[in-house]
Amino acid sequence: EDGTSPLVSRWRSEPDMLQARSGLALAALNGFVYAIGGNDGTERLSSGERLDGRGGGGGGGGEDGTSPLVSRWRSEPDMLQARSGLALAALNGFVYAIGGNDGTERLSSGERLDGRGGGGGGG
């Protein structure tokens, strides 16, 4: 095909995260994509951010790949503990961060963030 069919899927650009990170975890909740933890090349990260996936995205619908509703990443509260290689899950309005590595040891602990707009915490 020539790529002009509306049924052809293709990758589109999205906004860059606020911080470069590898070994991060992702979860989707209530139309947002959460990118949490990871490693910035120097240290493990406790920070997180989220992208509003409801507003057209950075690769929108225009012919030039732009959109009037460009989403951007926004900071989320830091986790209680820095983690890379963690697991992330979203359930009942919360984002759960479990396990990973803090740079010294493997972690068995977990914590959660209230994805409904409240703060995080281990509760």
**Got the DSSP string for 71-89?**
--EEEEPPPSS--BS-EEE
According to the model, what pLDDT value does residue 7 have? 76
Instruction: Give the model's pLDDT for residue 119.
Output: 44
Position 71 scores a pLDDT of 83
pTM: 0.78
The domain ranges of the chain are 25-114
**Cα–Cα distance, 108 to 94 (Å, whole number):** 19
98, 89 contact by CB (below 8 A): yes
Give me Rg for the CA atoms of the chain. Answer: 16
pLDDT value of position 54: 83
Give pLDDT tens digits along the chain (123 positions).
555 667 788 998 999 999 999 999 999 999 999 999 999 999 999 999 999 988 655 444 444 444 545 689 999 999 999 999 999 999 999 999 999 999 999 999 999 999 987 444 444
